[in-house]
Every structure is written in C-alpha cells, then in structure tokens.
Amino acid sequence: MAQYRRVSGSVGLITLQNPPVNALSASVRQGIVDSVKRALGDQKVKSVVICGQNGVFCGGADIREFGRQMSGPPLVPMIHDIEAANKPVVAAIEGSALGGGLELALGCHYRISHSKAKLGLPEVTLGLLPAAGGTQRLPRLIGVPAALNLITTGRHVTAAEALQLGILDHVTEHNTVDVAVKFALSVTGESLDGRRISSFSCAPLSDLDSLFEEAMLKVRGAARGAIAPVACVQAVRAAATLPYAQGMEREKELMATLFHSGQARALQYFFFAQRAVGRWSTPSGARWDTSQPRPVRKAAVIGLGTMGRGITVALAQAGLSVVAVETHAKQLMEAKKAVPSMLKRGAVRGGTTIEPDSITYSETVQAVADVDLVIEAVFEDMALKEKVFQQLSIVCKPDTLLCTNTSSLDVDHLASQTRHPELVVGMHFFAPAHVMKLLEVVYGRRSSPAAVATAMQLGKKMGKVSVAVGNCRGFAGNRMLKRYLEQAFFLLEEGATPELVDRALEEFGFPMGVFRMSDLSGLDVGWRVRKADGLADTSLTGTSARVRQGCRYSPLGDLLCEHGRFGQKTGRGWYQYDKPGGRVAKSDPWLHNFLDEYRARHGLVPRCIDQQEVLERCLFVLINEGFQILEEGIAAGPEDIDAIYVFGYGWPRHRGGPMFYADMVGLERVVERLERYHQAHPNVPYLQPSGLLRRLVANGSPPIHKWRNVIKNRNSQL
C-alpha cells in the first residue's frame, strides 16, 4: 500500500509501504494511484514527493506477482498519469530504485537521491525488459549508448554515476525526503514542459545502424542463448527510431514475448533460489535462524598454491587480517609476490583499497596460534591433510574453527584428527577462489551448528554464494560432475567426438563444453584421483579394460594422460593448442585417430550420435545424481543444487539450474529417457532413475517449490 499525507503546508507526500523493498504489488500500485489522485485534486497541494518507507525507495515490480493472475492498476498508465500531472512530482530516492522503481522515478518530473542509493533496470536478469516505459524514457534522458549499457546488463549504478549520467537532478548526504520536500516547495508553479521525459527526443547519433549492430553482436556473444538481452536492444532501438507512443507499443510487444517464456520463469526462479540457499538447514536440525555464527576477525590459510593464494586474497578483500602459511620456501616466496599483485588487480577492478599489511606470511604453522579460523588448502592428499589437522589442533586456540578446502576428501575423517571435531567443516572454494562466487560449506557428522553458521557467514562476507552441503565423496557439485564426465567419455567410445559433445553443451548455454573445460582445468587432476582410487589401470586388457567393480568404465582420460596430454598446460589434451599454455582449442587429427584405434581395439562400432542424445545422456545423469543427493539429505533443497551449478559449474542461469531444468523438461520425461538409456547401458547403474525422482513422478510431478514436501531424508548422512 501507500501512505498519503500533506507536509510543509503544500506538499503531498506519498510513501510506498511494502516491506522489505516496497515492491510495486497490486496494493502498492492502487495506493499510488489513489494518493496521486488525492494530491492532484487537493487545491492546498502544490507539489508532490514520492518516497519509500524504511529507507528504500522501491525494488521494482513485485516479482512474485508475475507467476500469478495479475490484478490491480497497471504500471504503465499509472506512471503516465504521474508524468502528465500539472503539479511537480519529485522522487525521493533512498536505498534502491530498481526496475519498476526506477521507471516510476523516471515518470516523476525530478529525481533527488541519497548518495548511498543504487539505481538500475535489472529486468534483463529476470528474463524481462523494463516494460513500464524504462526502455523508452531512459534513452531519451541519458542517450542511447548509456541506456543500452544499463538496460542490457541490468547493472546497478551508484547515485554519483546516476548523477553524472543525467538520471538524477540532485544527490544529497542528508535526509533525502526532507531535501526533496524543500525542493518540491522551491519548484512549485514552475513550468513542467521540459520535465516530461516522454516528450524528449533521443540525442541524435551519426551511425545508429552500426551502433545497434555492434550492440546486438555484443549481447548475442555474451548471452549464451538468453533472449532478454536481445529484446532489450530491440526495445532501445525503438526508442531511438520511433515516436514515444510507438516505442511504447514496441516495448509492450517485446515484453509479451518474454513474459511467459521459460527463460523468464527460470531466471525468476533463480532470483529466489539464490536467496533461499542462505536459509540453510542440516538433517540434524541445525538452521540458519537458530545457529549463532562466531565472529571471525583474523583467519589463516595453510598452503599457498593456486587455491591458497586465491583464498588469501578473498579473505583480505573481505577485510580480514590473514596469516598465510606455506612451509616450502620457494612456494612462499612466489606467493609473496603473487598475492599482492592479485590484490592490486582486484582493487583496480573493484575500485577498492586494501590495507597492504592485512596479510602476514609465515613458513611455520605456529604462526596461526591466535587466529579465529583456519582454512587448510594444502595438496589434495589425505596423509598430508591429516598431519596438518593434527598440528592445527595442537597449535590453535581451543575454539578456533578448522576448515578444509578439500574438493573430495572425507571431512569427518579430518575432523577425527583433531581435539574438537565439532569445530571442523569443509569450505570448498572453486578456482580461482578470489573470483568464483560459489562456496560449498561442508558439514560433517559432528560439525556444530555454530561452526556451519560461521563458515556460511564468512562466505557471505567474502562475497560468495555459500551453500551448505553434507559430507560425501565429491560433496554435491563434484559428485554430480563425475557422472556427467563419465557419460561424455562413454559417448566418445560410442562414436562421438569432443567437438560434437562440446558443441551440444555450448549451444545449451555452458560457457565451455566438457572437453574444453577438462583441457582448461587439467586432465591430470582427475587422473591423480582415479589412480588413488585404484581405477586408472591401463594394463588391463579385453573386456576388463572397460569395467571397474562390475560397472562400465572408460579409460580414455587415463590413456590421454599416459601420452602426456594434460590439456592446455601441455599444449595437448582433447584438443591441440599452439603451445603449452595456449588457450585456443583446435581439432586434433591425432586425437581422432587415437579414438578410431581405441574403438577398433575394443570392438566398439561407432554410431551416429546426435545433440539430443549428448544433452540427455550428460545432463539427465547429472540431474539424476542431484535427486540422489536430495534423497540422501546431502543438499537440503533443489535450490541448493541449482545455485551450486550456476555459480560453480557454468550452468546457464537462464535455464535455472539442473533441478529446475528437470522440472521444465518434465520429471516423467526425465525418468522415461533415463530408463531407456539404462536399458541400452545396463552396466551404468547411475542411469537408473533415483528413488526420489520416481517418488516425485508417482506424486504427480509436483512443481519444484513443492519437492521439499516429498523429500524425506531417510538416508541422512548425519
């Protein structure tokens, strides 16, 4: 709703009231319409100020309404009526003016903002475009190039930048509503002719066609198949080429194509999913709202390889004091050079400053005696990690939280090496750790709720999306990835090429297909794990060469490593590169010959494999493992898995994440395809639909937000 009152004698003050962000729900829109009518009809009122309660102007349209039957007054005529008013209307912006919130402000005659406010049109991130006049008014106000940038990226700008761009008339450090009311009094009676943005023309540009061609190329390149950025360019083009009324028609038309699209549904689901992962819970009953995090002011990182350096940088960037420990002198020396330059680059990019002395370096673990939290990031070797945890348990304060950055080793086993296993959790960062948004917080059997809460909160402070998951081999993300990789290898055995598989996945929206990604991260990483697990034995011949523990196994990755093909770092992998460290993947005839010979040796007759099979085999098996993870209580809900895959593994956000994708495709279809592939490949047990997936189908395939009702954590790990 909206509150209306008259202040300072002649100013009608309209306050939007819909906590927490004053979203423009039906009742808020009705409140605005009624209040504006009252203000314009009251002769004592000479000007109007619109603001939001609790220091937030408006977070835009109410996204939750989009999935329902829309009611209440529509936004577009509401904003037109404000702009057409014959009394000056001033927007008093505090906190945020986003989406429909900024569009409302653009309909006002003046915009005054607090210096700390953020403004933007982020609709594109929700699969939409600013359809309450935003695509037509903003280019008329600030010019086409700047408007294109804001609308196609959805980025939020500071008040200072908004002032510079010409979105704002004034920025204040003081009480914004008071300043706006005074301003409203000062402009009473002035002509509004030059203040109605819809009457402006866009500033002329010399070569409009090439500007829009370039913009289209840019968004298509970055969008990975997302349709909203393309529609945004088309709508801004209408602003630049058509009269306002026709531009508004075009905006409406384009919005109509987006509004009910699967991509809009996926992106809006993901908006709420990101927020849901913060409300974590564990099968033992620990929860985000009942677990108190401990304060962490000083942290330590043990091991300054690639991961350790990234974690050190991320901790320092979060304002913590960091002790960085590396026992190998050469590695320590290199880290002492690398970390400051990483910090410097980060500061330049983010426009921030870093206290240079926030990091101290040491060659001994004794230096961590007084820290509140340690993150171990040594080489992925259980014996080494055991030793580190034993040492930490002796050196650290008794209440220090001990975290491991292991990507797959048993957190419970590491906890058992310490005196306080309840203070041990996994903090699984993704490389590069100072850049990637994802953090898996892995709770063990004995991790205390406070330990989980502390790691989750620290992740948030580091700007990460922290997702709480249970302890199992590979946790959630890598466990699912393993199945995806296996299928990709099997497809090669059956006749596919890396190029074909990668193309299918990239056209689906992944930034890189599985083989290009594997070349980038290094084939030797998985090889080492498989060797440790006793799987990578290429001396086996005949049928046993391709079977491990009764299940189908592909030794292709192991064989490539034996040929010294570790990916980009060696200049050869699934593709060839111009030199070791080269980035541009080229098809490699050697690899194709190698695959032909391999198939011939194992009596495999290559067949034609299409993109649909690639997607179904790779993605449905990954999704199936996701259901298994939910069934076991390793992840609390589908949103957790989706956040992990979008933020950590490049799953295209406009497809919502693997679990949302399963919901979109239809659970029955996923089951049917898995069953068919399992029939064709009975020695791949992971193709068998998981119990939860079958139960959901038996329950009538409820929509994703109802899955939690069906999930029973019967096989909880805790």
Ligand X SMILES: CCCCCCCCCCCCC[C@H](O)CC(=O)SCCNC(=O)CCNC(=O)[C@H](O)C(C)(C)COP(=O)(O)OP(=O)(O)OC[C@H]1O[C@@H](n2cnc3c(N)ncnc32)[C@H](O)[C@@H]1OP(=O)(O)O
If you search the block for the tokens 């009942």, which residue do you land on? 290
Q: For 501-544, give the secondary structure using H, E and C.
A: HHHHHHHHCCCCCHHHHHHHHCHHHHHHHHHHCCCCCCCCCHHH
DSSP secondary structure of 627-676: HHHHHHTSSSSHHHHHHHHHHHH---GGGT-HHHHHHHH-HHHHHHHHHH
134 binds ligand X (CB under 6 A): yes
Instruction: Tell me which residue of 296, 352, 351, 294 sits closest to 323, measured CA to CA.
Output: 296
SS (H, E, C) 395-407: HCCCCCEEEECCC
Measured from each CB, the residue nearest to ligand X is 99
> Would you count residue 63 as binding ligand X (CB under 6 A)?
yes
Nearer to ligand X, 200 or 259 (CB): 259
DSSP assignment letter at 65: G
Does 126 contact ligand X by CB under 6 A? yes
User: Among residues 65, 83, 94, 123, which one is catalytic?
Assistant: 123
d(CA 37, CA 55) in angstroms, rounded, equals 24
Instruction: Give me 433's structure tokens.
Output: 């750790």
In DSSP notation, 422-452 reads GGEEEEEE-SSTTT--EEEEEE-TT--HHHH
296 lines the binding site for ligand X (CB under 6 A)? no
Rounded Cα distance, 209 and 682, in Å: 57
Give least dist CB 464 to ligand X, A: 15
Residue 20 binds ligand X, judged by CB under 6 A: yes
* Residue choice 83, 123, 372, 502 for contact with ligand X (CB under 6 A): 123
Q: Figure out which of the listed residues 37, 44, 64, 473 binds ligand X, where binding follows CB under 6 A.
A: 64
State which of residues 52, 60, 567, 648 lies at the interface with ligand X (CB under 6 A): 60
Which of 83, 103, 380, 494 does the annotation list as catalytic?
103
Among 2, 31, 32, 62, binds ligand X (CB under 6 A): 62
Which residues fall within 8 angstroms of residue 181, CB to CB, at 6 or more apart? 7, 8, 11, 13, 49, 92
Exactly one of 96, 393, 457, 701 binds ligand X (CB under 6 A); that residue is: 96
Q: Judged by CB under 6 A, which of 12, 99, 139, 567 binds ligand X?
A: 99
Which of residues 275 and 297 has its CB atom nearest to ligand X in the complex? 275
Q: Does 275 bind ligand X (CB under 6 A)?
A: yes
Which residues between 203 and 262 bind ligand X (CB under 6 A)?
Answer: 255-256, 259
Selected from 2, 13, 14, 21, the binder of ligand X by CB under 6 A is 21
Q: Clarify whether 123 is annotated catalytic.
A: yes
CB of 23 to ligand X, least distance (A): 4
Cβ-based nearer residue to ligand X, 124 or 545: 124
Grouping H, G, I as helix, E, B as strand and the rest as coil, residue 197 is helix
Measured from the CB of residue 585, what is the shortest distance to ligand X in angstroms? 36
Q: Which stretch binds ligand X (CB under 6 A): 123-131, 281-289, 490-498, 647-655?
A: 123-131
Query: Does residue 642 touch ligand X according to CB under 6 A?
Result: no
Which among 640, 628, 286, 644 is positioned nearest to 445, based on CA atoms? 286
Q: How far apart are CA 367 and CA 360, in angstroms?
A: 9
Q: Which two tokens stand for residue 401?
A: 């939280």
Would you say 33 or 132 has its CB closer to ligand X? 132
Distance CA 547, CA 490 (A): 12
Q: Decide if residue 272 touches ligand X (CB under 6 A).
A: yes
Residues annotated as part of the active site = 103, 123
Q: Under the rule (CB under 6 A), what is the footprint of ligand X? A: 20-21, 23, 59-64, 75, 96, 98-100, 103, 122-123, 126, 128, 130-132, 134, 255-256, 259, 272, 275
